[in-house]
Structures are given as structure tokens and as C-alpha cells.
Amino acid sequence: MEAPPFELDAVPPAAQYGERVLIVDGALDPLAELHDTLEEAGYTVLMAQDGATALRVATETAPNLILLGAAMTDLDGFEVLRRLKADPRTTAVPVIFMTDPTEAGHVEAAFEAGGVDHLNKPVRPREVLACLAVHLRGARAQSQAQAQAQARNALDAFGHASLAVHEKDGRCVWQTTLTRALMAEFFAGGHFERGRLPPEVLLWLHREALRRRAGAEPVTLTVLPQAPDPQARWGRKRLSFALHRVDPDALGEGQWLIVMRKFDDAALMDALVHRFKLSASEGELLYWMVRGKSNADIGDALSCSPRAVQEQLEQVFSKLGVTTRTAAVALATGQVPGLDAAGA
């Protein structure tokens, strides 16, 4: 009994990905039906009849998969495959060999050269579609894993504390090396040790994700240590959370990237002291002024009058070469990294 004719799904399986398939063979006419079938299934189909053209097209267009025959006029398919695997631009592209069952040793040679699978000629479109679906799914998973690793490595290299989380339940997918230490410093209860965001951060994530989808401006979350220094004024250390939407290929569907930054008041005060050659008390006054504290607030914290605070600030202005609070804030935030975000 004859096999039923191949019928395409109502939704072409490749349309959502827009994947490119390169067909390489010395005789392309017999593959015209395969070309049409792949296009109808949603693939972008490229074709090459010789090895040199195949290598050029592969490096220029970055196909997602290559169907490769053995017989060509210049380079045979095995040499083309070896060159593809030797080129960093194409080494990760899965290659399926189209082999002639009458040619002894072709299947073994194809796998030795780096092929991931083989199909016997004459190829059957339905079989090719099934084979492509399997290998492209694997290539997508590998590409996503590589993108995640590259993102983690880049964030680690720049000293960022970052983590990827599932929006639904706050489950952590991965985090950089700085993340765990900061979460332990600022949160009690062990939620992060169990692979979950602390409740207050998860609540912010849900609200911020909704805001971002609605096109609203980003809002960061700032938290203080749950066991703060009793001698600290207004919280010496703070941890801010910023939400970033990343290409799903780099993370995954339903996942968000959270970038954390730790702010330490004492460290920023020291930076002001060294940058502008201030005394420790002057650096503290300038810092709290930049943070938006009024003379009355600063006076209450330092046990002095607002007038005394203003007199000391005028001495600071003189050292900075400015005459107003606005100019002092602009100068300080422009020359001390991180100070602009500290008051956010």
C-alpha cells in the first residue's frame, strides 16, 4: 500500500524561528522537490552546487543547518565538511550528510568528518523534515545554553551581581559569583539558598514585569540589610535591583535578568574625601547633601544646628570651586562613579 502523501501542519513548524537551511549537492535538480517542501514548511532555503560556493554561502549567511551531498565538481562533501568544522564561524552548524547507499564507506566518512546524521539518497521530503526538526531543536538548545554561558561570563568579568529567574515563581536559573554573597548579606531566612528569591524581591519582580510590559519607566528596588549596623545613619549599605528583559535565546521564555548593585555610604564618602581633598567630616556633609538630605536632617544626625551645617558646607563649596548646592551636586556626581545612582 502506498504511503499517504505528505501533508503540512496548519502552522509551518519552522515559521516561528525563520531558520535557514543550506542544501549542497553536485546535482541540485533532483532536490527541487525537497527545496519546495522545505520552503512550504517555513524554512528559508539556500542552495549551492559546488564546495567553494557552499563555504562562501555558509560563512556569509550563517545557516542553521546544512544538508550536504558527497559528489561535487571541485571539493567533495567530506572536505567541505572538514573545512566547515575548522572555521569558528561555521563549526557549530549541524551538518546532515546525504549519502548514496551504493557508495561503501560514505556513512562512516561523513561521521568522521563531523556530520551529525545521514540520509540515504534519493531523499524523501517527509523524512528530511523529521530529521531537521530533531537536529534544529538540539541546535537551538545548544545555542541557548551557549548564550547563557556567555552572558554569565560577561557579567562575571565586569564584576556584576546578576541572576536569571523565572517570573512565575522566582526560581533562580543561574547567578554570577557575587550574587550569593550579597543575598546572604542583605536577606535572612535562607530563601536564596533554597533557590528562590526573597518574598519582597519576588513581589517587586511581578509588579515590575507588569509595568515593563505596559511600557512604563523602569523602577528599581532598594533594600537595606535585615541586620543593619546600629551605628549607621540612614542605612550605610543598600542593595538595588534592576530588571532587564533579554532576548529569550539568551535566557529562556518567562525568564528575566536581575542586576544588583551594592552601595556603601562609607566607601562613597571616602571617594569624595580623596577626590576633592576634603576632611572626613566635610566628605560626610557633602555626601548627605548629594543624597538629598536637608541641612536640618544632617544637623539632627550630627547633633548640630542647620546653621552650623550650612557654614561647613560653604567651606566645602570653596574647596570645590562652586557657590551653590546644585553646582556642588553636579560636580560630585560627575566625578565620583556610583554616586549619581546612590541617591536614586
Which letter does DSSP use for residue 1 in this model? -
Nearest to 165 by CA among 262, 249, 243: 243
pLDDT of 286: 92
- What per-residue confidence (pLDDT) applies to 150? 55
Closest among 246, 169, 236, 160 to 205, alpha carbons compared: 169
Comparing CA positions, the residue from 82, 91, 92, 173 lying closest to residue 139 is: 92
The CATH topology of domain 20-146 is Rossmann fold (3.40.50)
Cell of 118: 545521514
Classify domain 277-342 by CATH architecture.
Orthogonal Bundle (1.10)
d(CA 177, CA 152) in angstroms, rounded, equals 9
Q: Distance between CA atoms of 129 and 41, rounded to whole angstroms?
A: 8
The highest-level CATH class for domain 159-264 is alpha beta
pLDDT of residue 10: 37
What local confidence, expressed as pLDDT, does residue 146 receive?
A: 61
CA distance 233 to 286: 15
All cell numbers assigned to 303? 547633633
Per-residue model confidence as pLDDT tens for the chain (344 residues): 343 433 434 334 444 567 899 999 888 888 888 889 898 888 999 999 998 999 999 999 989 999 998 888 788 888 999 999 999 889 889 999 888 877 767 788 888 888 888 888 888 888 888 888 888 887 777 766 665 555 555 455 444 688 888 888 888 888 877 888 888 888 876 667 677 888 889 999 999 999 888 888 888 888 877 765 555 555 577 888 998 876 555 555 678 889 888 877 787 888 899 889 999 889 889 988 988 889 998 888 788 899 999 999 999 999 999 999 999 999 998 888 777 644 43
| 62 contacts 34 by C-beta, under 8 angstroms | no
Domain boundaries, the chain: 20-146, 159-264, 277-342
pLDDT at 115: 87
Residue 314: the pLDDT is 93
